[in-house]
């Protein structure tokens, strides 16, 4: 499997498909190898351009995949296309399927206590062979080492962090060297979706690549964050002009 990456405004995305990525991570799981996976959307790319500390977290990642059509379109516009989007939520579900088949254990960190409980219940219902080795809600004291101590002790195969960016990448990057094994991955608001708190856009909206629009209408408070999209598009077009002139 090739490790070729495609740079989008300085962030190096793995040139991969969803299926290939799951095969790659399954291989790591079988061999008990560590990995740190970041799924980056346009907002993350912009944040990385502006925040040096965040760039050091990304530099520690084993893989960065394209979370969203914006990154895939940008790579195409810049002349080095990525095959498809490889999102955090889709990988979360696929990895739970793998864990269900192979009886791998998971640790869940993030979201509000009641959302976390519903997430665990949903996993137990839909993926009954998965062992939930431990969990903690996402509103903890960052100076306490309780969570990493538990993860070191229990050695789960997969650690999913639903803390939102940049918190989840910061948490992993600052502690990654302490762990012997485990796939560590930030998955944003995915617990809320699995718990049924936030609905994912119907397939129709996903297919026409307007999932972001559906989410904006459902959660108007997101509008401020969505301003990142036109800013991202502007920077990509400027980069393209720079390269072709
Ligand atoms: N969250 C958390 N701790 C915090 C802030 C947020 O666990 O200190 C959780 C929040 O409850 C939600 C998830 O992080 O479940 C994602 O939040 P957000 O929508 O801000 O992130 P995104 O999905 O856009 O990355």
* Domain at 44, CATH number: 3.40.50.2300
Does the pTM of the predicted model rise above 0.75?
A: yes
Domain range for residue 130? 5-244
Pocket test of ligand 1: the residue of 88, 112, 162, 225 to mutate, having most ligand atoms within 8 Å of its CB, is 162
| Stretches in the chain below the pLDDT threshold 50 | none
Instruction: Select from 112, 162, 164 the residue to mutate for testing ligand 1; criterion: most ligand atoms less than 8 Å from CB.
Output: 164
- Dihedral sign of CA atoms 237, 238, 243, 245 in order: positive
Q: Which residue out of 44, 89, 163, 193 has the highest number of ligand 1 atoms within 8 Å of its CB and is therefore the one to mutate?
A: 163
How far is it, in rounded angstroms, from Cα 175 to Cα 54? 14
Ligand 1 centroid, distance to 239 Cα (angstroms): 31
List residues near ligand 1 (CB under 6 A).
110-112, 138-139, 162-165, 167, 188-189, 191-192
What are the backbone dihedrals phi and psi of residue 183, each rounded to the nearest 5 degrees, phi first?
-95, 120
Q: What does the alpha-carbon distance between residue 166 and residue 1 come to, in Å, rounded to a whole number?
A: 29
Rg of the Cα atoms in the chain: 18
Q: Give the Cβ contact number of residue 60 at 10 Å.
A: 14
What is the 35 CA–ligand 1 centroid distance (Å)?
Answer: 22
Q: How many domains, the chain?
A: 1
User: Ligand 1 center to residue 44 CA distance, Å?
Assistant: 14
CB 195 within 8 A of CB 89: no
* Nearest atom, ligand 1, residue 115 CA: 15
pLDDT of 41 reads 96
Task: Report which protein residue has its CA nearest ligand 1's atom 17.
Answer: 164
Q: 198 C-alpha vs ligand 1 centroid, how far in Å? A: 12
Q: How far is the CA of 120 from the centre of ligand 1 (A)?
A: 17
- The pLDDT, as a whole number, for residue 1 is 84
């Amino acid at each position: 499997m090739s490790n070729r990456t495609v740079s989008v405004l300085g962030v190096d995305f793995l040139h991969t498909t969803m299926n290939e990525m799951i095969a790659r991570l399954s291989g790591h799981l079988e061999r008990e190898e560590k990995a740190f996976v970041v799924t980056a959307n346009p907002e993350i790319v912009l944040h990385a351009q502006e925040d040096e500390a965040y760039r050091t977290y990304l530099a520690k990642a084993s893989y960065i995949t394209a979370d969203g059509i914006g990154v895939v379109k940008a790579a195409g516009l810049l002349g080095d296309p990525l095959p498809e989007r490889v999102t955090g939520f889709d990988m979360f579900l696929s990895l739970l399927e793998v864990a269900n088949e192979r009886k791998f254990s998971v640790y869940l960190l993030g979201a509000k206590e009641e959302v976390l409980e519903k997430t665990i219940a949903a996993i137990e219902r839909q993926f009954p062979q998965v062992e939930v080795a431990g969990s903690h809600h996402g509103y903890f004291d960052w100076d306490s080492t309780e969570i990493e101590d538990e993860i070191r002790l229990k050695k789960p195969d997969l650690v999913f962090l639903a803390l939102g960016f940049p918190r989840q990448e910061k948490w992993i990057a600052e502690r990654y060297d302490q762990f012997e094994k485990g796939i560590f991955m930030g998955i944003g608001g995915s617990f809320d979706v699995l718990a049924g708190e936030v609905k994912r856009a119907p397939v129709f909206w996903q297919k026409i690549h307007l999932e972001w629009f559906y989410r904006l209408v459902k959660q108007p408070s997101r509008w401020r964050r969505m301003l990142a999209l036109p800013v991202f598009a502007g920077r990509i077009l400027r980069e393209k002009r720079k390269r072709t002139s």
